Structure 1
Amino acid sequence: MPEGHTVHRMARLQRKRYAGRPVEVSSPQRRFTTGAEIVDGRVLERVEAHGKHLFQVYGPDLVVHVHLGLWGRFGNRRLPLDPPRGAVRMRIVGETHYADLRGPSACELFDDVEVKALRARLGEDPLRDDADPDRVWARISRSRSPLATLLMDQSVIAGLGNVFRAETLFRTGLDPMLPGRELGRERFDALWADLSEMLREGERAGKIETLRPEHDPALLEPPDAGGVCASVVYAYRRTGQPCLVCGTPIARSEHRARNLFWCPGCQSR
């Protein structure tokens, strides 16, 4: 599933190519026909992201909400148009480019009340200028749940996925099983700052590379086919390989149906 930095990068690209101008909107797959007909020909006023959710605003009470889910893709190409290929849920056509949305878990027309209700269920997004880390700290500092659970809870921090969870816990030296209420404010501030830094770099570069300058990527083994999205990392999908800092083999376990990766040497309590 695309993490928050990917959706923010997508929003930035769509703002550049489509926002501020009328766009043609259609649903070749015919699963978003009514919504597409309502916004077709309107000016796309702005595009923004909150966590893993994308919002295209066409006016008051006219917001297209997209969640890519596990398989969704929102590709952009330069005109001229090609015939739709596969199940294209929504097509947006601008002056120079067009974008085809395929396989999302959600593509729906919301009014402003529905947008507000959805965003109220989401946690703070480190990539948004209006993010309030104090709200995140208030949730974490009262929780008995381990950090491994809290960081993947979209109602606590929006946009974080498995790769960034593993990498920020490693970079800040935190045991994934440490209860949130035992974290302490100073270490939380370091965690939030590290998350913000990595997500912003990921949004800028369009990929996840989390090694600090003092750690040589040449020390890494070639990534497996499933790890291409995050091949220059400390812990994610490096099970059994030596830690780049202390040499301890990277460990893996299953936590709430997701793989959890950490270094028992660097991340012990």
Structure 2
Amino acid sequence: MWCVDSAFARVVAVACLGLTGCTAATASVSGKDALVVGVKADQPGLGLLEKGTYRGFEVDVGTHIARRMGAKRVTFRTVTSADRERLLNDHSVDLVLASYSITPDRAKAVTFGGPYYVAHQDIMVRRGEEGIQNVRDLAGRRLCQASGSVSTERVVIGLGIRPRLVPSPSYSECVRKLLGGDVDAVSTGDLVLAGFAARYRDRVKIVNAPFTDERYGVGLRSGDVDGCEKVNRALTVMYQDGTAARLLRKWFGASELSLTTSVPEFEGCS
């Protein structure tokens, strides 16, 4: 007896506790007629909400995946770095594509498909800044710390570098602080930085000194192996038929970032 995921299923799941042989299972997003995809609303190039419409690379990739999985209707909902796991696991969204780096800790809470892109953590500074050439130069400088992101941890804990951290709710706010002179640098995946760099190309620049890999994954509810496998099949087709290369050029071609257009090595879905 399967306990499926719905309001009825939650009642059944309670009943299952008293029945021998009844096992609760994660219902798959695979085959659903309608899917809700969680994306960022404030990251140019990746996910940006303007005039009521979501636009960006992750929006287009989310649409491609959902259609390949059989969804007839795809809608989008804003997520942040701080609430991605919660919105997935309380069924507010079915998939998350939101510069969601795959990490061992996050993989305990959700199942990851992909990655759909392997970015590299880099640094963005104001044009004219010559004192920050690489990650070591962040020591003692004002580095923006976006809520819910692991990028700052990679600098402080992973590399033992000690910048002056300036907390901020999001990377869009970090960029505003950079433009306003309130921080000296923003450091995260280069694909995130590229979207902002393309928008503010006369005012900011990417240092182009990458120091980590950022494997951007598709978040699914924990245990959804079938959904994960279908996500990976959809991503394989996306790269093989040239869709990924076209979308990467569309959204990041103006950033001068060197883009990777080969199929990434996927995480396991088990």
Normalised to the residue count of structure 2, the TM-score between the two structures is 0.23
Greater length-normalized contact order (CA 8 Å, ≥ 6 residues apart): 2
Q: Which has the higher strand share?
A: 2
Normalised to the residue count of structure 1, the TM-score between the two structures is 0.23
